[in-house]
């Protein structure tokens, strides 16, 4: 909600220029680093302005509050995950290998974000969940695309690619925290993802083994 207000105010007279976009992204990057290092409660908009080598007025031109800036910084992090998994989904890998890599990339990217922002605690978690609603829809659509591709090629035999995509999505959400903490993977990411994919995901997708060189 805040983001729309900022963009509308800023774009009243013209479209954002490349310089405007770069300035906005610089402020976000600086704020994200400060929030991650010291916690949102210990950072002021003046701190962000000083670290970004910008005036307070400039910072407030783009963001009306610290909370709005926090939301924008987290949104930037979430977009990194979206970009990473989209790249995998659109690659030339076979669908079964795409599924394995999607799971691996998705879990590792999420872990990186949480670790970088761990000192934000509950504030971070709540805002991430708010922002992730849009991301979740896109993620499910990507999973469905890969599963439909696999079904078309005879690699997966699931009756409902949409249901299978949702199953995969919620499975990943369910194991995020155990994976991040190392409880499930015992710090061996490759082995965990391979076993999880083989025993849970590919089984649910009714993997035919047509392209079984992933073993």
The predicted-structure confidence for 204-214, as pLDDT tens digits, reads as follows: 888 887 754 54
Residue 139: phi, psi to the nearest 5?
-65, -45
Q: For 62-71, b where at least 16 C-beta lie within 10 A, e where not — what string?
A: bbeebebbbb
Other C-beta atoms closer than 10 Å to the C-beta of 174 total 10
Closest Cα to residue 7, out of 32, 19, 24, 29? Answer: 24
| pLDDT above 90: residue 7 | no
- Residue 158 corresponds to which tokens in the numbers above? 């699931």
Helix (H) or strand (E) holding 189: helix 189-196
CATH topology of domain 71-214: Tetracycline Repressor; domain 2 (1.10.357)
Where in the chain are all domains bearing CATH 1.10.10.60?
Answer: 2-68
Residue 38: phi, psi to the nearest 5?
-120, -10
Distance from the Cα of residue 212 to its chain's centroid = 29
**Would you mind telling me the total number of residues written for the chain in this entry?**
215
- What is the homologous superfamily of the domain 2-68 according to CATH? Homeodomain-like (1.10.10.60)
Question: What is the predicted pLDDT for the residue at 134?
Answer: 79
At residue 181's C-alpha, the angle toward residues 196 and 188, to 5°, is 50
Question: What is the predicted pLDDT for the residue at 2?
Answer: 41
pTM over 0.85: no
| pLDDT above 90: residue 36 | no
User: Comparing 14-28, 53-67, 152-166, 184-198, which segment has the lowest mean pLDDT?
Assistant: 184-198
Where in the chain are all domains bearing CATH 1.10.357.10?
Answer: 71-214
Average pLDDT score over residue span 167-189 = 80
Q: 103-151 pLDDT, tens per residue?
A: 989 888 888 877 776 665 555 556 666 777 778 899 999 999 999 999 9
């Amino acid at each position: 909600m805040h983001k729309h207000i900022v963009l509308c105010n800023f774009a009243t007279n013209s479209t954002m220029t490349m310089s405007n976009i770069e300035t906005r992204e610089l402020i976000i990057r600086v704020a994200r680093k400060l929030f991650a290092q010291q916690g949102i409660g210990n950072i002021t908009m003046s701190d962000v302005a000083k670290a970004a080598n910008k005036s307070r007025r400039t910072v407030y031109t783009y963001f009306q509050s610290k909370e709005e800036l926090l939301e924008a910084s987290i949104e930037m992090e979430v977009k990194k995950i979206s970009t990473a998994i989209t790249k995998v989904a659109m690659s030339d890998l076979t669908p079964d290998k795409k599924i394995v890599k999607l799971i691996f990339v998705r879990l590792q990217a999420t872990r990186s974000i949480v670790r970088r922002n761990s000192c934000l605690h509950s504030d971070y978690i709540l805002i991430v969940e708010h922002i992730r609603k849009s991301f979740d829809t896109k993620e499910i659509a990507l999973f469905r695309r890969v599963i439909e591709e696999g079904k078309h090629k005879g690699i997966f035999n699931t009756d409902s690619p949409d249901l299978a995509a949702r199953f995969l999505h919620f499975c990943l959400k369910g194991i995020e925290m155990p994976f991040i903490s190392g409880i499930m993977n015992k710090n061996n990411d490759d082995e965990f993802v391979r076993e999880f994919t083989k025993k849970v995901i590919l089984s649910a997708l009714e993997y035919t083994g047509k392209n079984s060189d992933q073993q």
